[in-house]
Structure 1
Amino acid sequence: MKKKTLVPLIVFLLGICLVSFIVYKTDTHEREQRHITAQLNAATYGERIKNEITDGIEITNALGQILISENGEIHQFDTIAGNLMSDSIESVQLAPDGIVTDIYPTAGNKAGKIDLIHDKDRGKISCYARDNHTIITQGPFELKQGGYGIAVRNPVYLKDKNEQEYFWGFTIVILRVPDIFSDSIHALSDFGYEYRILKTETPWSDTYKVVYQSDGQIDHPVSYAFTIGDENWKFEVTPKSGWRNNILIVVTSGIFLAIILFLSILTRVWLVAKENKNKFQILAHTDSLTGIYNRYGFDGLAEKMISKNPQTHFVAALLDIDDFKFINDIYGHSYGDRALKSLADSMKAFFPSDALLGRNGGDEFGILLPNCTFKEVTEQMQQFTKLPKTFSYMGKGQQIYISLGYAEYPTFASSYSQLMHCADAALYEIKLHGKKWMYGLQGRASVRCP
């Protein structure tokens, strides 16, 4: 896979991993914050619900104090009970010896006059309250007037002449559900929570029974526990929208995915631009026909090599094809191009890999050999000149000849431009005398050119 595709893909995949990590951390943090907030709300409103139930229980305490002060008698019960009533109270009752005798209001509640101690549904828990001196709650149960209620029974104890405590009976209040804690649950619902109120079925049981709950689904709730008498209560809450903030997750994911996608595209654009830049640089410095450097590329690189290594010996050579115009005229320009390419291929095959090769234009070529002297390359230049060079025409190899002149730096030239000038003079000297491979006199003469 090409770099310009692979790198953006890697950037995108790494970005996806980073986005996943960020979303995970964001989701974890948000859930923790929602749990903390829900726990605080559960504790706050759970305590308020407990206080609201306790306010109803205070009615039984008030009646108990009157009974104690009046030695077990309550005069004008309906008046007192009427003053204690509220919208969340269904009825107020007295049960001396555990038998309900007085109920306010009377209308619709006459069936409530029962023997609590011996009743099959109420007897066991009523006896528990009597024997353990504790308030008990029972319910919720359906009220004949409609809705649901919870019975609160508070045992009352008096003292006889010998100061011995004895059980007088119960003061009772029937609390309407959910009216007794409606303020708390309405406020919690407005804050966006589902809720559930539970209590143990009996003081001696660990099984919880739902007293009241909202209509929505309650998933993995947090809870607040409290006690009333010997009974355990729990208040559970969970956000209506769930523990995850889906909107935040979607927005966070969308923003970071857009950023990652943008970075991936930007990376690909940068790599493509860089690749194109490299291609353009290569095209700008390379001769498209022969595949070696063009005049611009050869001059630039050769000058840079010499300027970086001013003490190093270099030999520069210039060569061209003899009678190249004749080849173009006789065989055509396409075959002239073949001759040029064949010569360039010969140069690439013959000279070492560190040699700089270039086509200066037309049929003129340049060679720069580093780390060598004039004398060291003389034989090599002669060998290259004698080397047969051909191009194919009509299935036959056509011979081509070259002229070549060369000069040395820094022995006889102090700069690249002077070096090339000397090599050009040497080439001119060769062509002037018609020598194809004799360099000695001409080459030495060229390096002394001013």
Structure 2
Amino acid sequence: MEDESGQEFFWGFTIVIIRVPEIFSDSVKPLSDFGYQYCLSKTGSPWEEAYEVVDCSGGSISAPVSYTFEIGGSVWKLEVMPQNGWVEKSYLYSIFGGGLLIVLLLTGLTAALLILDENRQELRKLALTDALTGIYNRHGFDKHVTVYMKKYPEKHCVGVQFDIDDFKLINDIYGHASGDKALQILAESMRKFFPDHAVLGRNGGDEFCIFLPDCTCKEAEEKLVQFTKQKRFFVYEGEERAFNISLGYAEYPVHAKSQLQLMHCADAALYEVKLRGKKGSLVYDEGFDPEVRTQLGFALRDISENLPGAFIIYKADYTDDEILFANSELIRLAGCENIEEFMTYTQRSFRSLIREDEREGVEQSIWQQIGTGQCNDYVHFYLKKKDGTYLKVLDHGRIVESGHYGKVFYVLIMDWDSMKEKYRDSL
């Protein structure tokens, strides 16, 4: 069918059952009424020669006129003769005319069956294929992966989940037509990059999946990194607009014991990439919780990347203040290029960002806040950058209860000198 914009989409399909013997029986029954014997028979399969009777008028048939044809992989044969045998010449003309009529009927029926079979194959393809990108939809992907894993339960394989970074912004800024084009370009890059035996699918929206059979994460790592780093563009008003992807992957049976669990683990790795700044690939680790995605949600990324300042989340634990998330502005303030460099520099600890001579005082202020049950606080300190220099900042933190991590800090960190310059009349 077509939507309001003229875009074709798959609406549904119907199943038609044709009972061939009954159709032929109705077609040739008039032969009995006009004094003819007939017998319709077929072979059991293409490689069999013996015929079995499907329908007949009764009585013996000798020296009949016969017609053979193929339908559904079997050979069919229709035999016709006069009830009283070949005794009058007039029968010959009648038989010739009747036989010609039957041949025409059977030829038309054969053509109809072939068309129905072709349509059935096309409908089956539509039911398993994503209309926009031409690769498998979620149902088609799951079906092929399930068949493989049941057939080869001992073989290692890799499940991959990935999506387009900030895809909603592409739709909002450039329109859904550009978003669709980005999806098609990404799907085409999948087809060109991965081998024919890889199963490629689109889960929906901008989420895609790949299944690499007879493969380990170690073997797939380099190829997946290369695929993630590919430069991709769509054209808007004559200009190229770049877009990137984030990708997570996991291995069966190392990380998961079923197809469903495998893809959940890959999805958890994908979400970890999002938390670390996007535009990258990551293999699943047992420390990644497959359920964390539903508890934090992608809205966190969209909001944090557009805040007027640096943003960080870390666990409110005196013995383990583990950094869980940092946005790109905080990474920039710390003098790092990306989230991996930032995590290495800080050793995932918030106190590493505080100038050494201030750490004790700042920490006391923070933990006093926790002890008194305050949910908000402001702290001034010098942020220690990777290059050894310092930046005076204002820290505005809020304690939040997370269902997954327990108590965590949501913290805005702003450049103090820049704020003073901007708001000097009011400070």
Structure number with greater CO (CA < 8 Å, separation at least 6) is: 1
- Select the structure that is richer in helix: 1
TM-score, normalised on structure 1? 0.45
TM-score, normalised on structure 2? 0.47
